[in-house]
Structure 1
Amino acid sequence: MSFGAWLELIASGLITGGVYALVALGLNLQYGLMRILNIAHGEFLMVGAFLTWLMQTQFSVSPLLMVPVSFALLMGVGLIVHRLWFRPLTATSPNLDVFEARGLMVCFGLMFLVQNFASLIWGGDLRGYDYLTQPVAIGGAQFAVNKLVVFGLALFFSGALIVLLRTTLLGKGVRALMQSPTGAQLVGINTQRLHPLMFGIGLGLSGVAGCLLSMTYAITPSMGEPYTVTALIVITLGGFGSMSGALAGGLLLGVIEALGMHFTNPSLKSLLSYSVFIAVLLLRPNGLFKK
């Protein structure tokens, strides 16, 4: 293989991995902070993708403009979902284990509710549009402009969340709650405000990921579930609760999938992902990047 071919292969994996990381960061934030294993996370990614497709095809609104709009809309949906379902669960669950189990059941219901609602509105056909598909040459390799945009925005939003959590007072409160919920509440951190805000930000990131994916791939109401599973694999790679680990894990998984599909068989993508997942669980259950 030429240098350009290697560069194109690795970059393709990094571009995919950037989206993986963005999805995983939102899910990791929800589970690491609130112990909500939101298996409906990918369905909200799908909603962001369809909203972007609808606005672009029907009203000629640029997908780039829809990036902040998708974040704001899905964040608002997240605040509502938390208020309607997870806040009452918090009040009625006798302990964290019961809350986690009940929350998982709620997320199952949300997954089927959102997926079937989308199928009812948009049908089950593949949807898509052309946006910034012209190629650009970098280092002897050819890349579509839209994929470079997707990678850049995925890294931007992922980095922005990590910086927020590491450098701001809000982020310190979130990290304190992740490390010791009881201790954080004893020093005055208000979980009644912080939990819904972080849940909303998590869904907002899924909306951004869906918006970005719609620029490069065909979309369907069933597209969300595989991304939820992938996000769980990424979180396992990076370590539950580790945001920088989720970013590194997403990029690593994207490269592993790209190399594996190139040198073996593209149909083995899921096998590669699950093999990595099982290996990490057996050999490094705390994650590759978590200290």
Structure 2
Amino acid sequence: MTGGAWLELIASGLITGGIYALVALGLNLQYGLMRILNIAHGEFLMVGAYLTWMAQSTWGLSPLWMIPLSFAAMMALGMAIHALCFRRLSATSPNLDIFEARGLMVAFGLMFLVQNFASYMWGGDLRGYDYLTDPVKFGDAQFAGNKLLVFALALVFSLALMLVLRFTLLGKGVRALMQSPTGAQLVGIDTKRLHPLMFGVGLGLSGVAGCLLSMAYTITPSMGEPYTVTALIVITLGGFGSMGGALAGGLLLGVVEALGMHFTNPSLKALLSYGIFIAVLLLRPRGLFAK
């Protein structure tokens, strides 16, 4: 292989891994903070993708304008879902284990509800649009402009979340709750306000990921579920509750998948992902980057 071919292969993995990381960060935020394993997370990515496609194909609105709109819409929807479902579960569950189990069942219901709603609204056909498809050359390698933009924006949003969690008072409160929920509440952190806000931010990031995906790939009502599974693999790689680990794990998984599919067979993508998932669970169950 030439140097340009290697660069294209690695870049393809990083582009995919950037999306993986962005989806995983939102899911990791929900689970690490509230112990909500939201397996419907990817379905809201799908809704964000459809909203972007609809705005672009109907009104000619640039998908870049839809990024903040989709984030706001999914964040508001997430806060409403938390208030209607998970807040009541938290109040009525006698302990954390029962809350996690009940929350998982609710998330299953949400997954099928959103999938069927999307099928009813937009049908089951493949949807898509052309956006920045002209190739961009870097030496001997060339890449589609939309995929480079997707990677750049996914990285920007991922790093922005990590900076907020690291350097703001809000972020310190979130990290305190992740480390010691009881201790954080004893020093005055209000979980009744912080939990729905962060659940909404998690879904907002999923909506942003859907916007980005719609720029470069076709979309269907069933596209969200594989991204939820991949996000769980990424979180396992990086360590539950570790935002830096989720970013590193997403990029790493994307590159490993790209290399593995190139040197073996594209149909083995799921085998590669689940093989890595099982190996990490057996050899380093706390994740590759967990502190």
TM-score by length of structure 2 reads 0.99
Q: Which residue of structure 2 aligns with residue 237 of structure 1?
A: 237
Deviations 1:226-252 (A, max 9, x none): 000000000000000000000000000
CA distance in 1 between counterparts of 2:72 and 2:18 reads: 20
CA distance in 2 between counterparts of 1:197 and 1:101 reads: 22
Q: Which residue of structure 1 aligns with residue 277 of structure 2?
A: 277
- The answer to whether 1:71 aligns with 2:71 is yes
CA distance in 1 between counterparts of 2:71 and 2:182 reads: 31
Deviations 1:143-188 (A, max 9, x none): 0110010000000000000000010010000000000100000000
- The answer to whether 1:228 aligns with 2:224 is no
User: Which amino acid in 1 is paired with 2:65?
Assistant: L
Q: Which residue of structure 1 aligns with residue 5 of structure 2?
A: 5
Deviations 1:99-123 (A, max 9, x none): 1111000000000000000000111
Q: Which residue of structure 2 aligns with residue 125 of structure 1?
A: 125
Equivalent positions of 1:76-91 (< 5 A) are 76-91=76-91
Q: Which residue of structure 2 aligns with residue 21 of structure 1?
A: 21
CA distance in 1 between counterparts of 2:11 and 2:102 reads: 41
Task: Measure how far apart 1:138 and its partner are.
Answer: 1.0
Deviations 1:76-119 (A, max 9, x none): 10010001101111111111111111100000000000000000
Q: Which residue of structure 2 aligns with residue 209 of structure 1?
A: 209
CA distance in 2 between counterparts of 1:141 and 1:286 reads: 38
Task: Measure how far apart 1:139 and its partner are.
Answer: 2.9
User: Which amino acid in 2 is paired with 1:140?
Assistant: D
CA distance in 2 between counterparts of 1:8 and 1:198 reads: 36
- The answer to whether 1:184 aligns with 2:184 is yes
- The answer to whether 1:33 aligns with 2:33 is yes
- The answer to whether 1:43 aligns with 2:40 is no
Task: Measure how far apart 1:276 and its partner are.
Answer: 0.3
Task: Measure how far apart 1:140 and its partner are.
Answer: 1.6
| SS of residue paired to 1:288 | coil
| SS of residue paired to 1:259 | helix
User: Which amino acid in 2 is paired with 1:16?
Assistant: T
| SS of residue paired to 1:136 | strand
The root-mean-square deviation of aligned C-alpha atoms, in Å, is: 0.5
- The answer to whether 1:253 aligns with 2:253 is yes
Q: Which residue of structure 2 aligns with residue 199 of structure 1?
A: 199
User: Which amino acid in 2 is paired with 1:274?
Assistant: Y
Deviation >6 Å, runs of 4+? none
- The answer to whether 1:93 aligns with 2:99 is no
CA distance in 2 between counterparts of 1:197 and 1:230 reads: 24
> Percent of aligned pairs with the same residue?
81
| SS of residue paired to 1:73 | helix
CA distance in 1 between counterparts of 2:25 and 2:157 reads: 10
CA distance in 1 between counterparts of 2:282 and 2:94 reads: 32
| SS of residue paired to 2:137 | strand
Deviations 1:246-281 (A, max 9, x none): 000000000000000000000000000000000000
CA distance in 1 between counterparts of 2:17 and 2:289 reads: 16
CA distance in 1 between counterparts of 2:280 and 2:140 reads: 35
TM-score by length of structure 1 reads 0.99
| SS of residue paired to 2:132 | coil
| SS of residue paired to 2:213 | helix
User: Which amino acid in 2 is paired with 1:191?
Assistant: T
CA distance in 1 between counterparts of 2:214 and 2:139 reads: 27
- Structure 1's unaligned 5+ residue stretches are none
CA distance in 1 between counterparts of 2:207 and 2:277 reads: 25
| SS of residue paired to 1:130 | coil
Equivalent positions of 1:130-141 (< 5 A) are 130-141=130-141
Number of residue-to-residue matches in the alignment: 291
CA distance in 1 between counterparts of 2:114 and 2:8 reads: 36
CA distance in 1 between counterparts of 2:98 and 2:76 reads: 27
| SS of residue paired to 2:289 | coil
